[in-house]
Amino acid sequence: MVDERDAAIRDNDNSAAPASRSPRTHLQILYQDDALIAVNKPAGLAVHRSKMVGNADEFLIDLLREQVGGTVNLAHRLDRATSGVLLIARSAEVAAALGEQFMGRDVHKQYLAVVRGWPEPAEGVIDYPLPGSRDNGPRRDARTRYRSLASIEVPIELGRYPQQRYALVLAEPETGRFRQIRKHLAHLHHPVIGDCQHGRSDHNRLYKQYFSCHRMLLHAWRLHFAHPVSGAPISIEASLDATYSALLERFKWVLPG
């Protein structure tokens, strides 16, 4: 059980992004060979330049190029607020080969998310069409498998409820639509904590105030795919950052093996 603090929740703080980091972030490399690199992307670090991240002062693709040298090509993307496994190709050919695996749904992706409420049923498939890009255009098929791994009820009053319920969810997207996991969990009325676009601002503020959590709690945990050159099966796991790890320890949540 989590002890409640006396401090009030600050209503004027509506940002769930981490505080600005010092320039030249050093990236944790999870896997590296002549064909590809896997890094553990920090939450809040933009992957590349775009109109959506106009206020960013550094970008993962530039940092990695400086860190390892040579050619680096994105094989896929993660939202700026999401942390975890990101694959980088060392050539355009490898990037294309990995892209085919993602498009062909041959890459098995596992994400960890802390959500508001307790999903019922505790395990299932979210089959809800989403726009293929951003929030515009025709809706396309989108499927996400989910499973509740742990849950907790904390004695913190919010609104008309004296206690708040949260769950740790394993999400496995079968398709790759824009912000798919975030939108799908919000569609179930169990939004990701820290999600400013699709979540609940009151619960986001609660996590900042009581748990010193200033990030979105969505993490690309594991990635399983075939090596684009050798065809050998590859499994990569990205560890949680200090904020996410401290929260799991406080809630006494244990990740599956």
Catalytic residue (one of 13, 33, 62, 79): 79
Q: Is 3 a catalytic residue?
A: no
Helix or strand or coil: residue 214?
A: coil
d(CA 104, CA 102): 5
**Length of the chain measured in residues:** 257
Tokens in use for 38? 């896997």
DSSP letters for 84-122: EEEEEESSHHHHHHHHHHHHTT-SEEEEEEEEES--SSS
CA 254 vs CA 9, 149, 169, 248: distances in Å: 28, 9, 12, 7
d(CA 148, CA 126): 13
Q: Residue 135's CB: how many other CB atoms inside 10 A?
A: 10
Residues near 169 by beta carbon (within 8 Å), at least 6 away in sequence: 112, 113, 114, 115, 119, 146, 147, 148, 149, 185, 190
Nearest to 65 by CA among 100, 39, 93, 99: 39
40 neighbors 28 (Cβ within 8 angstroms): yes
Active site residues: 79
